[in-house]
Amino acid sequence: MKQTTFSLVTGETVTQVIHPSGLTILVYPKKGFRSAYALFGTRYGSVDTVFERDGKRIEVPAGIAHYLEHKLFENEDCDAFVRYAATGANANAFTSFDQTAYLFSCSDHFEESLEILLDFVQKPYFTEQTVQKEQGIIGQEIRMGDDDPDRRVLFNMLRAMYVVNPVRVDIAGTVESISHITPELLYDCYYTFYNLHNMVLAVAGGVTVEQVLAVADRMLQPAKPLQLDMPLPDEPEAAGDSRIEDTMPVAAPLFCLGFKCPMTASYLSAKDQLAAQIITRVLSSSSSPLYTALMEKGLINDSFGGTFFDGRGFAMFLFEGESGEPEAVEAALLTEIDALRQSGVDAERFAELKLALYGRLLRQLNAAETGAMMLMDNYFCGRRPGEVIDACMALTPEDIDERLQRWLRPEQRTLSIVRGE
Partner 1 sequence: MEPVVYTIQDGVTFLNVPDDRFTTALLSVNFYVPLAMETAGTMAMLPPLLRRGCRAFPSMMAIGRELDRLYGASIGATVLRADEAQALNLTLACLDDRFALEGAPALADAVELLGQLLFDPPLENGVFREEDVEQERRCALEAIAAEINDKRRYARNACERLLCENEPFAVPLHGVKEQVETVTADVLTAAWREVLQTAPVRILYQGDPNGVPIAKAFAERFAGRQVKPLPPMVIGAAKPEVAVQCERMDVNQCQLVLGLRSSVQEGHPLHDAMWLAITLLGGTAHSLLFMNVREKYSLCYYCYATAYTKKGATLIDSGVEPDKAEQAKAEILHQLERLKTGDFTDDDLENARRSLLDTLLSYEDSAMSFVTWYIVDGPIGDGRSPRDVRESIQAVTKEQVLAAAKTLTLDCVYTLMPKEEIA
Interface positions, 80-119, toward partner 1 (CB under 8 A): 81-82, 84-92, 105-108
Closest CA to 201 of 7, 350, 375: 375
Distances (CA, A) of 271 to 387, 399, 421: 10, 8, 43
Element (H, E) at 307: strand 305-311
Closest CA to 240 of 306, 352, 159: 159
In whole angstroms, the minimum distance from the beta carbon of 146 to partner 1 comes to 5
* CB nearer to partner 1: pick between 302 and 402: 302
Closest CA to 172 of 144, 138, 149: 138
Q: Which of 12, 52, 59, 69 is catalytic?
A: 69
In whole angstroms, the minimum distance from the beta carbon of 224 to partner 1 comes to 33
* CB nearer to partner 1: pick between 71 and 312: 71
Where in 224-283 is the site for partner 1 (CB under 8 A)? 248-252, 254, 281
**Total number of residues binding partner 1 (CB under 8 A)?**
79
Element (H, E) at 335: helix 326-343
Is residue 387 classed exposed, middle or buried when 0-12, 13-18 and 19+ CB atoms within 10 A define those classes?
Answer: middle
* CB nearer to partner 1: pick between 212 and 254: 254
Task: Compute the distance between CA of residue 91 and CA of residue 82 in angstroms, rounded to an integer.
Answer: 10
In whole angstroms, the minimum distance from the beta carbon of 193 to partner 1 comes to 24
**Residue 373 is a binding residue for partner 1 (CB under 8 A):** no
* CB nearer to partner 1: pick between 28 and 380: 28
In whole angstroms, the minimum distance from the beta carbon of 319 to partner 1 comes to 17
Q: Which of 133, 180, 218, 406 binds partner 1 (CB under 8 A)?
A: 133
Distances (CA, A) of 178 to 48, 319, 336: 15, 31, 43
* CB nearer to partner 1: pick between 124 and 205: 205
In whole angstroms, the minimum distance from the beta carbon of 31 to partner 1 comes to 7
Three-class secondary structure of residue 56 per DSSP: strand
Q: End-to-end CA distance of the chain, in Å?
A: 61
Q: Which range in 158-166, 234-242, 294-302, 334-342 contacts partner 1 by CB under 8 A? A: 294-302
Q: Which of 3, 179, 221, 287 binds partner 1 (CB under 8 A)?
A: 287
Closest CA to 381 of 308, 312, 317, 307: 312
Q: Which residues of 247-261 are buried (b: 16+ CB within 10 A; e: fewer)?
A: eeebeebbbbbbbbb
Where in 8-47 is the site for partner 1 (CB under 8 A)? 9-10, 30-35
**Residue 174 is a binding residue for partner 1 (CB under 8 A):** no
Where in 341-370 is the site for partner 1 (CB under 8 A)? 349, 352-353, 355-360, 362-363, 365-368
In whole angstroms, the minimum distance from the beta carbon of 96 to partner 1 comes to 18
* Residue 69 among the catalytic residues: yes
Task: Compute the distance between CA of residue 47 and CA of residue 96 in angstroms, rounded to an integer.
Answer: 9
Three-class secondary structure of residue 143 per DSSP: helix
Q: Which of 285, 305, 309, 387 binds partner 1 (CB under 8 A)?
A: 285
Where in 144-163 is the site for partner 1 (CB under 8 A)? 144, 146-150
Question: Annotated catalytic sites, by residue?
Answer: 69
